[in-house]
Structure 1
Amino acid sequence: MDQATVDQLRALMEYEAARAAPPPTFPRLPDVPGGRYTDPRFAELERDQLWRKSWLFAGHMDEIPQHGCFKLWEAAGQPIVLVHARSGEVNAFYNTCSHRGAPVVTQESGRRARLTCKYHGWVYDDEGKLVSVRDPEDFVDLDFSCRSLRQVRCERYGKLIFVNFSADAPSLAEWLGPISDEWAEFRFDATRLVDHYVWDLDCNWKIAMEANMEVYHVPNIHPSTVALGLDHRRNVNSLYPHGHGRMIAPGWEKKEGENYRAANVGDCPRPEIDGVGEIGRTCTQSYNLFPNWVSPLGPTGYFVLNFWPNGPTRSKMEVWWFGPDWGEGPRPAFWDATITYLNSVLEEDTEFGKWIQKSQESYGFEGVPLSYQEARIYHWHQQADAMIGAERIPAELRVSPVIGPDWIVPNDPRLDGLPLQEAAE
């Protein structure tokens, strides 16, 4: 991030702190229909449209470090096997034998030279090609070339592995857009997988995710944790193409290490990612990638949250931790302290979810009136409707596309206002 961008963000922080109303040209946000959190019809549309067309984070190269290593991945409701091929690429296949549809892998992970179906012994290589079958003399004109494992689109950003079920979706680079360059300083190509676990939640997946897409709730939900290290009134939200968003909020004193990621780690030596700039060191810099990714990034490492539906009223929150390579031996004590602390923050966010779900299922809940501070949430819902197709959505469950391209990065009308110019001076 160059100095001009840093200065611009600092000026925007002061603009946000000084404003007495939303920016003059920012649209009024209509209520988000309540049924989007409770109605099985909308959950079905999400399943058939959002999850099939979006790039979904599926794993990290540390999980399949050598050729022949594989990992099962079923978070999106489809049986997928990720394979580290001899070519160095990662291939994703449906875990479905082309003979009778049995799985070719039944272990969560492992390493094999070939993938062999246990049912009848059909064998595939790491490119998914059928290489042998048992009793070939009993098949007539079996064409091996059209009996490969069915492949799923798979691309990488650094060591991160993404999959997409749609042949018509843009490339991962196009999907990320300018975020790809903004992430470069956080070294997704070099950071190591520190930890990975899943929480079961008693609420719709969007309720859980949206708690991590705004800071309006911070003073109430996190008074003794996040609120101590994050100045929510200076938070700057940015809206990106494809429904992505970013928030940048400074620590109260704008000093290195004064953000909440550094809280409660005691005297543990802090690892550092080389090259993280001023904003990354002194602010909470958090991204949401459509449809289900949230990640606050920092100089010592960071966590990524993925939210997955488990029916209309239940969900799973997948937590991934990444940090600088520490060499041989167990992970540094810094991580034990940091993960313990951040888990307490996540508990504050998620324990209220089941109560929200109950309330939203009541006769008294009709919709969500979002504030300007919660604009990233509305932007997400607009993208959801665009991807699903408004014509497929029952009229009472649609959102109005009121946020126009003038508010999508690289555009930002706040930059043209006199208060911002004065703040920059």
Structure 2
Amino acid sequence: MMDAEEVARLKALMEWEGRRTAPPQGFPALPDMPAGRYTSPEYFALEMEHVFRKSWLFAGHMDEIPERGCWMRWHNAGDPIVIVHGMDGKVRAFHNTCRHRGAPVVTEDRGKSSRLMCGYHNWTYKTDGSLVGVPERRDFPEDFDLSCRGLLPVRCELFGKVIFVNFDQGAMPLLDWMGPLAREWEEFAFDRIRLAARHSFDLKCNWKVAMEANMEVYHVPFIHPTTVAPLVDSTRNLNTLYPNGHARMLAPPPRQTDREHVRAIDSPPGWQPIATVGELGRSCTQSYTLFPNWVSPLSNYFVPPLLFWPTSLGTTRLELVTMALDWGDAPAPDLWTVPDAAQPNGRQMSRIILEDTQFGEAIQHSMQGSAFRSVPLSYQEARIYAFHQSLDRMIGEANVPAHLRVEQVIGPEWVWPNDPRAAQMVREASQARDAAE
């Protein structure tokens, strides 16, 4: 949890952002980003190979595999995976591929069993992945070694009750990947929040087009005039860049707004507050980017990540998740979707999500045209530029063709724990005092 000094510094910086008349001193001019980053099959292939195969990715919640022997399928990043709550209590992930002839080990989305059995030839595995049963064992060589033919593992670690996976066996541990976010997220009770809702919708645009609509507040007054704008003062928004591509935006409500009485995206009556959340989580809108594809506001009522899964160069699966403290006998809270009157028990995206996604298909179609040549970004959109720098670093800058590469102009001096804005704010305050004396 942030201490009082850190909270005071961030509050002061938000006010400073509202007063500035230009980008911070020394902040680099952001070169135009190449248009092909959104339209090139070559760049998309590099993202799939290097970013989504080597990053920690949200996979699920312990409520989906609550007991020993429970398992769930997951295939949001290409390879089919099975995530298992082992009989020994440990959560593991494996490629959902039998080591015999490649059939899936499980074919349902969820189930519970003390063994995982491939339906093709009944090869049987324990929940720790080890192969323990091969029918007609006599027909295999005497030295056929079952111990080296277990299910192939996928890295799997928990943050509280949230499950993450990583295809890279040599990847850094999840907590190291999260860096300072792990400390900042402690106050949001990840070890106690339950999974309340999880729904997916298909979008007809590149995954970055969809995601970047949630990585800046430049658009808020124009796209969200009656939903988000009453909660967020875009002029006082404070962006923070973190190692490993993560970022945070922090914005107070407009001065004339009493946030306690505005519920456009806050909790409805009856939701249980998270008592450990500090002042900023209660009074401001703070949204985090967890590289590569998680964006989420965090507050004293909910943890509601939006996940952007590439399904092709020009299509995305948007996953909308709501996690909150136990809601008892009340209906499960769902921040991002509402009932769909056209489908029994169906859901549709909420008004805010519809506002953010309304132009995606048209933008993608326009981007494919000859008039789309580059992307100029402002200081207020620096989270997006820094995100693209991180994409190229994850891919390996030498692997990115020169005509698709972004320049690495935002240096480490602008990445947490460094922040030249704080020193500039102090200098300006001192100059103002001197001028007044």
TM-score above 0.5, yes or no: yes
1:121-146, Cα deviation, whole Å (9 max, x unpaired): 10000000001110111111210110
**TM-score where L is the length of structure 2:** 0.92
Aligned to 1:60: 61
User: Which of 206, 214, 231 is the matching residue for 2:233?
Assistant: 231
Aligned pairs for 1:35-114 within 5 A = 35-114=36-115
Aligned to 2:341: none
Distance 1:287 1:337, change over 3 A: closer
Matched, 1:210 2:212: yes
Matched, 1:303 2:310: no
Question: Partners in 2 of 1:355 and 1:192 — Cα distance?
Answer: 36
SS in 2 for 1:374: helix
Identity %: 52
Aligned to 1:151: 153
Letter in 2 for 1:372: Y
Q: How much has 1:269 moved relative to structure 2?
A: 2.5
Q: How much has 1:259 moved relative to structure 2?
A: 6.2
Matched, 1:402 2:403: no
Aligned to 1:184: 186
Whether the 8 Å CA contact 1:259–1:283 is kept in 2: the answer is no
Distance 1:342 1:281, change over 3 A: farther
Aligned to 2:270: 269
Aligned to 1:422: 429
Whether the 8 Å CA contact 2:322–2:334 is kept in 1: the answer is no
Question: Partners in 2 of 1:166 and 1:261 — Cα distance?
Answer: 40
Matched, 1:250 2:252: yes
Aligned to 2:136: 135
Aligned to 1:367: 374
Q: How much has 1:298 moved relative to structure 2?
A: 0.8
Choose 247-256 or 103-112, whichever is displaced more.
247-256
1:296-332, Cα deviation, whole Å (9 max, x unpaired): 00111131011011111111100110111123x3525
Q: How much has 1:339 moved relative to structure 2?
A: 4.6
Q: How much has 1:113 moved relative to structure 2?
A: 1.0
SS in 2 for 1:92: strand
Letter in 1 for 2:213: A
Distance 1:246 1:342, change over 3 A: farther
Distance 1:421 1:414, change over 3 A: same
SS in 1 for 2:295: strand
Question: Partners in 1 of 2:109 and 2:250 — Cα distance?
Answer: 37
**TM-score where L is the length of structure 1:** 0.95
- Count of equivalent residues: 420
* Structure 2: gaps (5+ residues): 339-347
Question: Partners in 2 of 1:264 and 1:65 — Cα distance?
Answer: 26
SS in 2 for 1:81: strand
Choose 285-294 or 338-347, whichever is displaced more.
338-347
Distance 1:387 1:360, change over 3 A: same
Matched, 1:345 2:347: no
Aligned to 2:391: 384
1:148-185, Cα deviation, whole Å (9 max, x unpaired): 00000000100010011112221101100000000000
Whether the 8 Å CA contact 1:241–1:408 is kept in 2: the answer is yes
Question: Partners in 1 of 2:305 and 2:425 — Cα distance?
Answer: 37
Q: How much has 1:258 moved relative to structure 2?
A: 5.6
Question: Partners in 2 of 1:80 and 1:148 — Cα distance?
Answer: 14
Letter in 2 for 1:406: E
* Structure 1: gaps (5+ residues): none
